[in-house]
Structure 1
Amino acid sequence: MLLSNVSICSGFNSALHAGAGEGHPDLGGGSRRSTLTPTGNLVVAVCLGFIGTFGLVNNLLVLVLYCRYKILRSPINLLLINISVSDLLVCLLGTPFSFAASTQGRWLIGAKGCVWYGFANSLFGKLRSPFA
C-alpha cells in the first residue's frame, strides 16, 4: 500500500533533481502519475480509507475510555495513550493525503505537501516508539 504512495510522492524529488521543471507541477511541468492501474489505486484507496477510519475510531475510543474510567489511569496505560495519540495524529494528518493521492492516482499537494507528509509521518511514527 505505502509503496504506491511513496512512488507517487518520490516523483517530485526526482523531478527537482532532473532540472528544467519536467514532471513537477510547481515548476511548470505535468504531474507524475502512479504506476498502478486504476484498479490498483482503488484497492489502495479502499485499504487506506479502512485503515484511516478504523484507526480514528479505535484511537478515539481508547482516549475516551482512559479519560472516563479512573481505574485505567496507570503508568503502563499511559504508554498506551502515547501510542494512541500518535496513531490518531497519523490518521488525521497523514492518511488523508495518501488516501486522496490513491483515489486520483497522483500526488495532489505538491512538493511542499510531500515534505510535510514525510515529516508528519516520521515524527508521529517516532512518537509511537520512543525507545526505538
Structure 2
Amino acid sequence: MIVSNVSLGGCAQFNSALCAGAGEGHLGGGSHRPTLSPTGHLVVAVCLGFIGSLGLVNNLLVLVLFCRYKILRSPINLLLINISVSDLLVCVLGTPFSFAASTQGRWLIGEGGCVWYGFANSLCGE
C-alpha cells in the first residue's frame, strides 16, 4: 500500500484503518512481510550489480575521452558530460546501497541511511 504524507509516528494517536495499513511493513508498526522471495532479491541484486558496474565503467570512459580529446569539447558535449557526471555519482552513491540491500533482502543502513540515499539519488537526478 502506498501512502504519502502520512506520519507513522502518529498512528498510535488514531485508531483508523489508514494508519493500520500504513504501518504494515514499515518502521514503527505492524508486522514485516517481505515482498520478494530470496530468488527475487538475488535477481534484483544481479541486475543492480550489472547496472552499477556498467554505469561506472561507461561514465568513466566518457569522462576520460572528453578530457583526452580536445575536439570533443563543445557546448553540446558539456551537457553530455553533465549527465555523465550525474549518472556516475548515482553509480557511486546510490547503487551500492541498493545492491547490498538486495543481497541481504532488507535495508541495511537504517532510517538515516534511507534519507541520505533518497537525498543523494534525488540530488543527482535519478
What TM-score comes out, normalization by structure 2 length? 0.77
Counterpart of 2:39 in structure 1 is: 39
Choose between structure 1 and 2: higher helix proportion: 1
Separation in 2, partners of 1:36, 1:74: 46
Counterpart of 1:110 in structure 2 is: 110
Distance 1:40 1:95, change over 3 A: same
Counterpart of 1:69 in structure 2 is: 69
Task: Name the count of aligned residue pairs.
Answer: 113
Residue 32 of structure 1 deviates from its aligned partner by: 4.7
Counterpart of 2:98 in structure 1 is: 98
Letter of the aligned partner of 2:75 in structure 1? P
Instruction: Determine if contact 1:94/1:120 at 8 Å carries over to the other structure.
Output: yes
Separation in 2, partners of 1:14, 1:103: 29
- Percent of aligned positions that are identical: 79
Separation in 1, partners of 2:7, 2:42: 25
Runs (5+) with no aligned partner, structure 2: 13-23
SS in 1 for 2:89: helix
Distance 1:32 1:109, change over 3 A: farther
Counterpart of 1:80 in structure 2 is: 80
Letter of the aligned partner of 1:68 in structure 2? R
Q: CA RMSD in A?
A: 2.9
Instruction: Determine if contact 1:32/1:107 at 8 Å carries over to the other structure.
Output: no
Separation in 1, partners of 2:70, 2:35: 50
Structure 1 consecutive aligned stretches of length 4 or more whose deviation exceeds 4 Å: 13-19
Letter of the aligned partner of 1:106 in structure 2? R
Residue 52 of structure 1 deviates from its aligned partner by: 0.1
After superposition, the C-alpha distances for 1:55-81 in whole angstroms (9 at most, x for unaligned) are: 000000000000000000000000000
Residue 38 of structure 1 deviates from its aligned partner by: 0.3
Counterpart of 1:122 in structure 2 is: 122
Which structure exhibits the higher relative contact order, with contacts defined as CA atoms closer than 8 Å and separated by 6 or more residues?
Answer: 1
